[in-house]
Amino acid sequence: MSAAGDTNAITPPEIRLRKGQTPLVCLTAYTTPIAKLVDRHCDIVLVGDSVGMVLHGLSSTLGVTLDMMIMHGKAVRRGLERALLVVDLPFGSYEEGPEQAFRNAARLMAEAGCAAVKLEGGESMAATIRFLTARGVPVMAHVGLTPQAVNTFGGYCVQGLGDDAERIRRDAGAVTEAGAFSVVLEKVPEPLAKAITAQIAIPTIGIGASPACDGQILVVDDILGMFTDFRPKFVKRYAELGSEAEAAIGTYAADVRDRRFPAAEHVYAAASRPGDFA
Ligand code: KIV
């Protein structure tokens, strides 16, 4: 069985109950090996549509397809035992209306085995969130900077400044009323994120938001320092794997060119027997 519901994983209602408790730890994952590493540390693992930019070299998330999300969702499902798996509905897979959103959310849940989906938008998505949650699809909402609307915003800019704060407050209130079990608040001023967290009844998951949020989420490749050329203010790097990997690859290349690799321990002696697999 690949569909969720047959595991001991954390559930959306359990996440909902974590409002105001110990902060929820959330990270993205796109592959089985990374899912295995993050599982025991995270409450929620998100297969974000950021996969398009992080793993596929796309310049935005707009080119990410439902099939890509299903493929990465399946890979992450294989690596998780404990964390709640949430998969993003990609651009174009839910905006036409509740029926389209349900059809594609059902595919994500049945084929990728996630227990919840995430979609971007506030007031404009309230009817869709209500439709999905009434039909067995737990929804994590996403307001503030919604990257699928990058062309409407004119870039990945901070949202909710000045009078615009009211729009983000209304969005957060609307997704709560509609039945979302949590909401991502992305790239909004800290005092606004704090105020929304105090105002709504569901957990807020901050990214470029506030330590007062009920949880935090980041892209796992960002905290591992996989990119040397991408350093947004809201990311804290806990490792520099990108430069370490580059150095390791350089050493391998030099070893091959200088015939230091393979060494005696990496080759098979004439005395090897059939059935020597290692
Ligand atoms: O796509 C993504 O990875 C996200 C999170 C970073 C919130 O939406």
What confidence tens digit (pLDDT) does each residue in 118-162 have? 999 999 999 999 999 999 999 999 999 999 999 999 999 999 999
Q: Classify residue 277: in a domain, yes or no.
A: no
Determine the Cα–Cα distance for residues 60 and 126; give it in Å rounded to an integer. 25
Which candidate, 225, 182, 178, places its Cα nearest to that of 207? 182
Q: Which atom of ligand 1 is nearest to the CA of 49?
A: 1
Q: Which atom of ligand 1 is nearest to the CA of 184?
A: 7
Mean pLDDT of the chain: 96
Which candidate, 144, 183, 185, 141, places its Cα nearest to that of 164? 144
Residue 103 neighbours by CB distance under 10 Å: 13
Query: Which residue range(s) make up the domain with 26?
Result: 12-240
Chain-centroid distance, C-alpha 146: 13
Q: Is 88 in the pocket of ligand 1 (CB under 6 A)?
A: yes
Q: Classify residue 278: in a domain, yes or no.
A: no
Determine the Cα–Cα distance for residues 190 and 193; give it in Å rounded to an integer. 5
Q: Is 144 in the pocket of ligand 1 (CB under 6 A)?
A: no
Q: Classify residue 155: in a domain, yes or no.
A: yes
Q: Classify residue 249: in a domain, yes or no.
A: no
In whole angstroms, how far apart are CA 71 and each of 74, 112, 125?
Answer: 5, 7, 25
Q: Classify residue 267: in a domain, yes or no.
A: no
The pick from 207, 216, 218 for probing ligand 1's pocket by mutation, whose C-beta has the most ligand atoms within 8 angstroms, reads 207
Compute the residue count for the chain: 278
Q: Which atom of ligand 1 is nearest to the CA of 88?
A: 1
Whole-number Å distance, alpha carbon 50 to ligand 1 midpoint, is: 6
Which sequence positions are flagged as catalytic? 186
Residue nearest to atom 5 of ligand 1 (CA): 48
The reported pTM is 0.95
Cβ proximity of 3 and 109 under 8 Å: yes
Over residues 214-233, the mean pLDDT reads 94
Report the domain count for the chain.
Answer: 1
Q: Classify residue 113: in a domain, yes or no.
A: yes
Q: Is 184 in the pocket of ligand 1 (CB under 6 A)?
A: yes
CATH number of the domain at 236, please. 3.20.20.60
User: Residues 60-102: pLDDT tens digits?
Assistant: 999 999 999 999 999 999 999 999 999 999 999 999 999 999 9
Q: Classify residue 264: in a domain, yes or no.
A: no
Q: Classify residue 193: in a domain, yes or no.
A: yes
3-class SS string, the chain: CCCCCCCCCCCHHHHHCCCCCCCEEEEECCCHHHHHHHHCCCCEEEECCCHHHHCCCCCCCCCCCHHHHHHHHHHHHCCCCCCEEEEECCCCCCCCCHHHHHHHHHHHHHHHCCCEEEEEECHHHHHHHHHHHCCCCCEEEEEECCHHHHHHHCCCCCCCCHHHHHHHHHHHHHHHHHCCCEEEEECCCHHHHHHHHHHCCCCEEEECCCCCCCEEEECHHHHCCCCCCCCCCCCCCCCCHHHHHHHHHHHHHHHHHCCCCCCHHHCCCCCCCCCCCC
Q: Is 48 in the pocket of ligand 1 (CB under 6 A)?
A: yes
Count of CA atoms in the C-beta half-sphere (13 A) of 65? 3
User: Residues 10-50: pLDDT tens digits?
Assistant: 999 999 999 999 999 999 999 999 999 999 999 999 999 99
Q: Is 28 in the pocket of ligand 1 (CB under 6 A)?
A: yes
